[in-house]
């Protein structure tokens, strides 16, 4: 099995706080790898370093065998890393389809094209519509993004990430703030795309994590205390104590 992403001994400090503490992690082709951990465990800081918004103080990140530790954000994106945001981050004034089409455009050469109307460009619109269909949002394609519901925003986020045909998809709490119904729909959707793209999933919803993940890494104070199959993680005493709480460990 080939490694899509290999993180080695990553360190990131903010003043006296070590948010990422000697973190190592690897993602295999086509798996869904969940990273769980209590609040403040450094999950979002880790994502920030993976996409290039934060520069690590030490350690390396390899993507498809290439060292990308110092690569800027837009180049990482161009080479196949896509991300959904924890806080919904879409283009509110654009329609759902416009949003996804923009993501397609980002990976279709340069955009110094000043004349032809982008909204009539089939090479942008068709893949965009396909991505909307994948996440089950095609029927809302022409709605302005600001008028979509919270759950639909999250689906749109993922459609935008998928539209760039990524090799690696970083999902930062895709179920955050969702009701059980939307959550279940999101789990079904992710199961649908499973295998076609390698996914790093950060999520608090344990039902979703255990339903989706092939492997799970547990992060505590910026350090990976365990990595393994869901069953192993469920049984791991150290994990139960650190993450699920003492009560759960005592059960």
Partner 1 sequence: MSSASHSSAAPTADSTRLSFIVGLVLLGFLGLIPILSVAFEDPFLLTLFTRIVIMAIAAVSLNLILGYGGMVSFGHAAYIGVGGYTVGILAFHGVHAAWIQWPLAVLISGIVAALIGLLSLRTKGIFFIMITLALSQLVYYLGNGAFAYGGDDGLNIMKRSDFGGLLNLDNRPTFYYLCWVILLATVFFVHRTVNSRFGMVLQGAKSNDRRMATIGFPVHRYQLTAFVLAGMICGLAGVLTATFTGFISPAMMHWSRSGDLIVMVVLGGMGSLFGPVFGTVAFLLLEEVLSSWTEYWKIVFGPLLVLVVLFARGGIDGAMVRGQAGTLLAGCAAFFLLYGIHTAYEDEWLIPTLILVAACALVWVAKWAVDRKKAASHD
Residues that bind partner 1 (CB under 8 A): 51, 53, 73-74, 77-78, 82-83, 85, 89-94, 98, 101-103, 105-107, 111-119, 121, 124, 144, 147, 160, 164
Q: Which two tokens stand for residue 10?
A: 């990553």
Tokens 């004349």 — which residue? 115
Residue with tokens 């990482």: 76
The distance of closest approach from Cβ of residue 186 to partner 1 in the complex, given in angstroms and rounded to an integer, is: 20
Residues 46 and 56: beta-carbon distance below 8 Å: no
Nearer to partner 1, 147 or 206 (CB): 147
Rg over CA atoms, the chain: 19
**82 has which bridge partners?**
169
Nearer Cβ to partner 1 (16/66) = 66
Nearer of residues 100 and 218 to partner 1, judged by Cβ:
100
Q: For 78, phi and psi rounded to 5 degrees?
A: -65, -30
Task: Give whichever of 45 and 183 is closer to partner 1, judged by the CB atom.
Answer: 45
| Closest approach of partner 1 to the CB of residue 228, in Å | 30
Smallest gap from residue 117 Cβ to partner 1 (A): 5
The dihedral through the CA atoms of 66, 72, 73, 78 has a sign that is negative
* Shortest distance, position 156 Cβ to partner 1, whole Å: 12
Q: To the nearest whole angstrom, how small is the minimum distance from the Cβ of residue 143 to partner 1?
A: 9
Q: Give the contacts of 218 (CB within 8 A, at least 6 positions apart).
A: 35, 36, 37, 224, 225, 226, 227, 233, 236, 239, 242, 243
Q: Write the CA distances from 63 to 9, 15, 118, 167, 197, integer angstroms.
A: 15, 28, 32, 10, 14
- Are the beta carbons of 216 and 36 closer than 8 angstroms? yes
Report, in Å, the least distance between residue 56 CB and partner 1.
18
Q: Which residue has the tokens 């992403």?
A: 5
Nearer to partner 1, 7 or 124 (CB): 124
Lookup: tokens for 41: 């465990």
Neighbours of 235 (CB within 10 A): 11
Nearer to partner 1, 2 or 89 (CB): 89
CB of 161 to partner 1, least distance (A): 8
Nearer to partner 1, 160 or 220 (CB): 160
């Amino acid at each position: 099995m080939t490694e899509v992403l290999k993180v080695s001994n990553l360190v990131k400090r903010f003043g006296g706080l070590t948010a990422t503490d000697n973190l190592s992690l690897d993602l295999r082709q086509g798996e869904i790898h969940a990273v769980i951990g209590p609040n403040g465990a450094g999950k979002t800081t880790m994502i920030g370093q993976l996409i290039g918004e934060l520069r690590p103080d030490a350690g390396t990140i390899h993507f498809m065998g290439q060292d990308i530790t110092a690569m800027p954000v837009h180049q990482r994106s161009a080479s196949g890393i896509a991300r959904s945001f924890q806080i919904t981050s879409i283009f509110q004034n654009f329609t759902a389809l416009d949003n996804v089409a923009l993501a397609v455009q980002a990976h279709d050469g340069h955009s110094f094209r000043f004349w032809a109307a982008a909204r009539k460009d089939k090479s942008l619109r068709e893949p965009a519509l396909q991505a909307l269909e994948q996440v089950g949002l095609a029927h809302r394609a022409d709605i302005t993004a600001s008028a979509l519901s919270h759950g639909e925003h999250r689906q749109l986020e993922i459609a935008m990430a998928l539209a760039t045909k990524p090799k690696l998809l970083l999902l930062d709490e895709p179920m955050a703030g969702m009701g059980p119904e939307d959550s279940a729909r999101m789990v079904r959707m992710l199961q649908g795309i499973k295998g076609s793209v390698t996914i790093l999933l950060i999520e608090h919803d344990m039902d979703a994590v255990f339903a989706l993940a092939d492997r799970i890494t547990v992060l505590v104070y910026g350090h990976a205390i365990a990595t393994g199959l869901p069953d192993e993680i469920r049984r791991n005493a150290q994990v139960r104590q650190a993450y699920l709480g003492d009560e759960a460990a005592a059960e």
